[in-house]
Amino acid sequence: MHILGCLDVPTTGSYRMGGVDVGKMGESELAEIRNRKIGFVFQQFHLLPRLPAWKNVELPLLYADERNRTLRRRRAEEALASVGLQERYNHRPTELSGGQQQRVAIARALVTDPSIILADEPTGNLASTQADEIMGIFESLHEQGRTVVIITHEPDIATRARRLVRIRDGKVMDDEALVK
């Protein structure tokens, strides 16, 4: 995930994104890709507890140097609405369920309109009904044309994908398309 997310560069071989070798990019170029082309969703949500949902979602726009406050707020609210949280804009993470916190994290990943979503164990801390809701969001994002990569140890989550790549000790063990 670190290589796919441009957090690390490969020590051997190459990783090309959009036809460009990521390993030859500088830190500022990698940061730009992470901010504009890749949305990250983590198992632990990584929400700032003192900020309401919309401000947590707005953060990537601040990093992208979007100076227009009204635009940032509108985009954050639109992203929250896209994951069904239009009634929870002003709630802090402690006022949200685990599933709602994960939806805030997904909205934060979507606010810059990335083409790739990387989700690391996004259902690992959720009850099965919440996990089903989160997977429904990811499936919808994929149907809209986004690339969604889910890293999971949960077989029932993995089988919902269209392609399953099994990795063990850093090596690809199996790569198969699943019939849907």
E strands, 10-162, in order: 16-17, 20-21, 38-42, 116-120, 147-151
Q: Longest Cα pair distance anywhere in the chain, in angstroms?
A: 48
Cα 122 to Cα 6: distance, rounded to the nearest angstrom: 19
Over residues 104-120, the mean pLDDT reads: 95
Query: Mean of the pLDDT values across residues 94-122?
Result: 95
Is 117 in contact with 60 (CB distance < 8 Å)?
no
Model confidence band, residue 83 (pLDDT cutoffs 50, 70, 90): very high
Q: In angstroms, how far is CA 136 from the centroid of its own chain? A: 14
Query: pLDDT value at position 84?
Result: 94
H or E element that contains 173: strand 171-177
Looking at per-residue pLDDT, the higher value among 62 and 95 belongs to 95
Q: What is the pLDDT of residues 27-82, one digit of tens each?
A: 999 998 998 899 999 888 999 999 999 999 999 998 888 889 999 999 999 999 99
So what's the pLDDT on residue 1? 86
pTM over 0.85: yes
Instruction: Assign domain 37-177 to its CATH superfamily.
Output: P-loop containing nucleotide triphosphate hydrolases (3.40.50.300)
H or E element that contains 75: helix 69-82
Q: Where are the domains of the chain?
A: 37-177
Please state, in angstroms and rounded to a whole number, the distance separating the CA atoms of residues 107 and 45.
11
Integer-rounded Cα Rg, in Å, for the chain is 17
What pLDDT score does 136 carry? Answer: 94
pLDDT in tens, 135-162: 999 999 999 999 999 999 999 999 999 9
Report residue 47 as tokens.
Answer: 């929400």
Question: What's the pLDDT at 90?
Answer: 96
Mutual orientation of helices 98-110 and 53-63 as an angle, nearest 10°?
30
| pLDDT at residue 87, rounded to an integer | 92
- pLDDT over 80 (residue 180): no
